[in-house]
Amino acid sequence: MAAARAAGSGLVLSRPVTFVTGNAKKLEEVRAILGDSIPFRSIKLDLPELQGEPEDISKEKARLAAKRVNGPVLVEDTCLCFNALKGLPGLNNLLMAYEDKSAYALCVFSLALGPEIEPITFMGKTPGKIVPPRGPNDFGWDPIFQPDGYAQTYAELPKEEKNKISHRSRALSLVRSHFAQADNAPTALRATTTNRAVDKLSQVCLE
């Protein structure tokens, strides 16, 4: 099999990265954001439902997926985090009963270049707030999340605009940079443990 090289990258892979997802909308966004900068294919794998910190979940899924495909994989864990809650009483209660509706969308990608290689994580975060649903209801919690600096929810924003500022876009920007810098600084942009302090205040995440 011919080696695959990311566009403009010194990182050469024995095969394209496998992006693990069964979500067509998520795949559409990733393709739109990455373009041809990183060669990848996508497959759906039945991986166990894990509990814990988003970074830990993403890394463990990457380890499992790399063993399953026996090659490089990219795995994502995404959540919507509420700053004010210690538990999840339900969305309606959240909207009606709590003054603090601030939140952030968090995306963690883990890249494992093989089954025996420790995954590298990349985090993207977009702050915003929870609002009553607006816009098309065809992609998770997009209708209820309004990013800071915008009058529209994720669901109401044009796709091109959302893909500039979304948590997914910010995480993928780090992935793309990692590939681009791999020949000069192989360890550059490894996610640091400080990223795990992503506002570890009282929070609840919705996948």
What one-character-per-residue DSSP string does 92-134 give? Answer: HHHHHH-S--EEEEEEEEEEESSTTS--EEEEEEEEEEE-S--
Q: Is 196 helix (H, G, I), strand (E, B) or coil?
A: helix
Q: Which of 159, 124, 111 is nearest to 6 (CA)?
A: 111
Annotated binding site: 21-26, 49, 61, 77-78, 139-142, 162, 167-168
Q: Which residues belong to the annotated binding site for ITP?
A: 21-26, 61, 77-78, 139-142, 162, 167-168
Q: CA-CA distance, 174 to 181, in Å (whole number)?
A: 10
Residue 90's CB: how many other CB atoms inside 10 A? 9
* Binding residue positions for Mg(2+): 49, 77
- With the C-alpha atoms ordered 173, 178, 183, 188, is the resulting torsion angle positive or negative? positive
